[in-house]
Amino acid sequence: MSLFLRGIAVILFASLGGLPAWAQTWPSKPVRIIISQPPGTAPDIITRLLAEHLNKNLEQGFVVENRPGAQNIVGAQAAAKSAPDGYTFFVATAAALVTNPVTFKQLPYDPVKDFTPVSLVGKGPFLLVANPKVQAFSLSDIVALDRSSPGSLKLANEGPKSFGGMIAAWVNQVAGTKILLVPYNVNSQGIQDTLGGTTDLSMQAVPGVAALVRRGDLKALAVTSAQRLPGFENVPTVGETFPGFEATGWFVMVAPTGTPADIVQRMNGAMDRALRDPAINSRMREFGIFSDGAGTPASVAEFINVERGKWTKVVRDIGIQPE
C-alpha cells in the first residue's frame, strides 16, 4: 500500500472511531502540568498524585512544573502563553482565575480569554480557629465578645488579598464585627502567634491547623464550607450562623485557549477517573481538599463564572482596592 493510501486509511479509521487522528494518538510525548505553588505544598502533592494516575491511564509521562510567585501570576502567565497543542495544562487556583482580576489593576494574562476549562480538581474550606484561652466556643460567641469590646479581638491571616484574609474580612462584614485582622507574610508565624496568644483567632486552610485542632492546641469555631466536614462534624459552618455564607478555595484544571476540544474531553475523562480513585480521594481529604469528580468542561466553565461573580461582589463589599 502506498504512503498516500495508508494516510487515507488512518484518517478514515479515525473518523469512524469518532475522534480526529490527533486526539486518538494524543498524548504522543510528555505532557506538562503547571501549578503556581511551590514543591511540598498540598496542591503540589495532590497534582503529583494525579499525574501518576494519568501516567498509567494514558500511558505517557505527565510532568509537574512548579511556577510559584506573585499571587499565582507567574504560573498563570506561563500557562496562558503556552502552545494550545494539548501538551500543557494548568492546575489553577481561585485566585488565578477569579480574585486576581478584581484585586490587581493589570494582569499579564486574561483569566477569561486565555484558558479553556478542563476539569474540577477540588475545594478547600477554611477553619476559624481560636486560642484555647479565648472564652468562645462558637462563632456566635465571637460575635458577642466583639460587640462587648469592639476591636479587641485579633485575627491572624495571610494578608488582605489572600483567601484567608478575604474570608475573614467577609465574616467581619456579614457579622458586623470589628475584629482586627493581622496580616502575616509567613503564614506559619500567624498560626504560632495564635497558639501563643499574641492573636486570639486565625483563619486557616484546613491542612494547616487540622492536627492542632485534633490535639486541642486550637479550638475550631466554624468552617467556611456549605456543609460540615468529614472528621470535623462537630464544627458548625459559618452559614449556620449567617445563612448563605460559603467560601472555599478551589482548584480547577484548564488548558490554553485553542487546545483541541477532543483532547480536552479525553483529559477530562482521565481526570475524572483519577479523582474518583479511592486512594487519591482519601489522600486529598487528608490535605483538606474535597472532590466529587471532574465534572464536565461545560459545568466547570459555569462554576468558574458563578465564582467570578460572587468574589467580584465580595471584594467590593469588603473594600479591597485594585493595585
The pLDDT tens digits of the residues spanning 4-32 come to 445 544 444 444 444 455 456 899 999 99
What's the confidence (pLDDT) of residue 231?
86
What's the confidence (pLDDT) of residue 3?
47
Question: 136 and 234: one domain?
Answer: yes
Question: 113 and 135: one domain?
Answer: no
Higher pLDDT, 88 or 163: 88
For CA atoms 244, 129, 275, 88, the dihedral sign is positive
Range of the domain at 290: 3-124+249-317
Of 210, 241, 272, the one marking the end of a domain is: 241
Of 206, 241, 276, the one marking the end of a domain is: 241
Helices 163-175 and 297-317: crossing angle, nearest 10°? Answer: 60
What's the confidence (pLDDT) of residue 196?
97
Q: 25 in helix, strand or coil?
A: helix
pLDDT in tens, 197-253: 999 999 999 988 999 999 999 999 999 999 999 889 999 999 999 999 999 999 999
Question: 107 and 159: one domain?
Answer: no
Mean pLDDT over residues 34-63, rounded?
94
What's the confidence (pLDDT) of residue 208?
86
Of 198, 223, 241, the one marking the end of a domain is: 241
pTM attached to this predicted model: 0.86
In this prediction, residue 39 has a pLDDT band, given cuts at 50, 70 and 90, of: very high
pLDDT in tens, 103-119: 999 999 999 999 999 99
What's the confidence (pLDDT) of residue 20?
53
What is the spatial distance between Cα 94 and Cα 46, in angstroms, rounded to a whole number? Answer: 16
**What is the rounded radius of gyration, in angstroms, for the C-alpha atoms of the chain?**
22
In this structure, is residue 322 part of a structural domain? Answer: no
Mean pLDDT over residues 120-145, rounded?
96
What's the confidence (pLDDT) of residue 96?
95
Question: 104 and 253: one domain?
Answer: yes
Question: 43 and 112: one domain?
Answer: yes
